[in-house]
Amino acid sequence: MPESSLNSYRDLVKTEIFSKTLIPLETPFFVRLDGWKFRALSEKINAEKPFDKKFAECLVNAGKTLFGKGLNPTLVHAVSDELNVLFAGQAPFRGRIEKIDSVIPSLVSSAFTLRLHEVFGKAFTTAFDSRIVITLNTDNVVDYLSWRQTNAWRNHNNAYAYWILKKAGHKPTEISKRLKGMGTKEIHDLAFKHGVNLTQTPLWQKRGILVYKEPYVKRVSPNKHAMRWRLKEEWNLPLFASEDGAKLIQQILEWVKSSKRTEISGATRENAEN
């Protein structure tokens, strides 16, 4: 195409009005991804109801791919069909929101799809929606995660109650109506009557799974040690609203801060820029 004709389109770049929308510098933020139409997907792959560990493993694995792509997330919290990805260090793509909200869900979707195929033997396209949540300080980070955990716990209770009533022969519309009017205690009592103790279900189902980088010291030669990072997966999380839960998050954030200060040798810290 001749250059002159390309020049005649030059003004069109101005119509990309969101391309300069940025996350404020040095502001920690979450990217929350949610599986699109995953209820239908879980039916198609015959996932165990109401929770399937293999399905959760696919989601965790998809979240883990973000650590290997130079995006440098601080942590990933996975629950049901949701991933909360925290960036407390350098923002990827220099904080460009369109890039963050498109590349991250694309990576997660493709990783999830591939894994789902491997694990369930079925090939389906999948998608995740994506939004950005700004957090201003450590307390905000802990509060945000506590909120998502409380939401997960409520969904866990409802999901069990739903499948118990469904198995008992009730219609979906009738069950939804009935659940709307029920409090936590009533749901627990109902489940208990049907042989399910909701206080004894696996913790990952109600509190989610956390993936984060943990530093460790490695002996690299007889008298030389170096700091390295390894990925850690926690399937038995404390409540983030508890002292132990808040401490865990504070510790992870402290590691990020100190790694920024000392620029740990040997760690891969290349950041996605473009």
Residues lying near Mg ion in the complex (CB under 5 A): 34-35, 38, 81
Interacting partner of 33 out of Mg ion, ligand GTP, none (Cβ under 5 to 8 A depending on kind): none
Question: Which one among 49, 64, 178, 269 touches ligand GTP, defined by CB under 6 A?
Answer: 49
Q: Indicate the residue among 202 and 266 with the shorter CB distance to ligand GTP.
A: 202
Task: Specify whether the CB–CB gap between 52 and 58 falls below 8 A.
Answer: no
For residue 154, the minimal CB distance to Mg ion (Å) is 15
CA distance 110 to 93: 20
Phi, then psi, of 11 in degrees rounded to 5: -65, -20
138, containing H or E segment: helix 138-167
- Residue 247 CA to residue 239 CA, distance in Å, equals 11
Interface with ligand GTP, residue 51, by CB under 6 A: yes
In 70-137, which residue ranges form alpha helices assigned H by DSSP? 97-120
The answer to whether 165 and 175 have CB atoms below 8 angstroms apart is yes
Among Mg ion, ligand GTP, none, what binds residue 42 when CB lies within 5 to 8 Å by partner kind? Answer: ligand GTP
Residue 157: contacted member of Mg ion, ligand GTP, none (CB under 5 to 8 Å, by partner type): none
Q: What angle do CA 271, 73, 268 make, to 5 degrees?
A: 45
The single residue among 27, 36, 110, 119 that binds ligand GTP, judged by CB under 6 A, is: 36
User: Residue 122 in contact with residue 45, Cβ under 8 Å?
Assistant: yes
Q: Rounded to whole angstroms, what are the CA distances from 148 to 30, 85, 186?
A: 12, 12, 22
First to last CA, the chain: 26
Nearest Cα residue to 41 out of 104, 118, 103, 128: 128
Cβ 194 to ligand GTP shortest distance, Å: 18
- Regarding 37 and contact with ligand GTP (CB under 6 A), the answer is yes
| Residue 163 interaction partner, one of Mg ion, ligand GTP, none, beta carbon < 5-8 Å per kind | none
Among ligand GTP, Mg ion, none, residue 61 binds (CB under 5-8 Å by kind): none
The 56-95 contact track toward ligand GTP, x by CB under 6 A, reads x-----------------------xx--------------
Q: Least distance from C-beta 115 to ligand GTP, angstroms?
A: 14
Q: Which is nearer to Mg ion, 33 or 190 (CB)?
A: 33
Binding partner of residue 55 among Mg ion, ligand GTP, none, CB cut-off 5 to 8 Å per kind:
ligand GTP
Shortest Cβ distance from residue 80 to Mg ion (Å)?
8
Pick between residue 29 and residue 51 the one whose CB is nearest to ligand GTP.
51
Per CB under 6 A, residues contacting ligand GTP are 34-39, 42, 47-52, 55-56, 80-81
